[in-house]
Amino acid sequence: MSATGFFKITRPANAVVSGITAIIAYLIATGTVIPSAVLLLVIVTLITAAGNVINDYFDADIDRINRPSRPIPSGTVSPIAARGFAVTLFLAGLLAALFTPPLCLSIALINTLILVLYAAKLKSLPVVGNAAVAYLTASIFLFGGAFAGGNALILMLPLAVITFLATMARELLKDAEDVEGDAAGGADTLPIRIGIRSTSYIALGFALFAAVASVVPYLRWGMWYLIGIFIVDLIIIAAAVRTLPCKTPECVRASRSTTLLKAGMFAALVVFALSAVFL
């Protein structure tokens, strides 16, 4: 085992970006950032990191096929150590959440439960597992809004819906990339059930719904927002379209559609933040 392995298993970039997103969500909800909002960064980073660790713990067999370089399959972190590390991170995140409003604490508790259930059971259920991840991603906006109160949380609902739909598209295509390992590990994903091509069309449908939903904040931010989000929508839809000819996981991976979708979602976050500050 090594310190590098423990660091890597948290997927630190992913965890920290999630924490920063929570602060940006607060900025979008209120138009400002206060010093205590750093709690959002701490809580979301810790709980996201814990979710990444517990996911790798339950996915060790699958990762030996799909991602053998990850810490558990590569032997840099033992399964028992990973489990204990995940528990520690979850407890630290929830302890920090005690210093936030009740709405935030409730979301943190619910998300912790969903993260554990997802890793242990939900991931192997077609669509349900994808929806769990999509909710967890979208809930960062709700968490940031909840730090400012119930009204701010409601204000964030359209952005949460947009994020949920775009994440569903990406999660389905990630499953299409991982068919071999998922099948070997006993997972029952949508691409395994209905095929990669059919899954690609469903993913495109979610991308299109995300684009439609992205129009709603125009009522708050106006034409400049609409111009910016239109460019983002083109990126997200183009990413989903790239996989339509694919019949194999190799083709989906080669299309780099999931990477492009992730870039599109990041661009959407930038558009949301700039609109909140300047429009």
Sign of the Cα torsion 151, 155, 156, 160 reads positive
In this structure, how many other beta carbons lie within 10 angstroms of the beta carbon of residue 20?
A: 16
**In the CATH scheme, what is the code of domain 156-279?**
1.20.120
Amino acid at the residue 140 = I
* Rounded Cα gap, residues 33 and 277, in angstroms: 11
**How high is the pLDDT of residue 256?**
95
Residue 116, SS3?
A: helix
Exposed/middle/buried for residue 2 (C-beta within 10 Å: 0-12, 13-18, 19+): exposed
**How high is the pLDDT of residue 236?**
97
Protein fold of 1-154:
Tetracycline Repressor; domain 2 (1.10.357)
**How high is the pLDDT of residue 106?**
97
For 51-65, the pLDDT digits (tens) are: 999 999 988 777 777
pLDDT tens, residue order, the chain (279 aa)? 678 888 899 999 999 999 999 999 999 999 899 999 999 999 999 999 999 999 999 887 777 777 777 888 888 888 899 999 999 999 999 999 999 999 999 999 999 999 999 999 888 788 999 999 999 999 999 999 999 999 999 999 999 999 999 999 999 999 999 888 777 767 788 999 999 999 999 999 999 999 999 999 999 999 999 999 999 999 999 999 999 999 999 999 999 999 999 999 999 999 999 999 998
**How high is the pLDDT of residue 185?**
67
* Rounded Cα gap, residues 216 and 118, in angstroms: 30
Please report, for the chain, the start and end positions of each structural domain, with discontinuous segments joined by +: 1-154, 156-279
For 118-153, the pLDDT digits (tens) are: 999 888 788 999 999 999 999 999 999 999 999 999
Amino acid at the residue 220 = R
* Rounded Cα gap, residues 133 and 114, in angstroms: 9
**How high is the pLDDT of residue 196?**
95
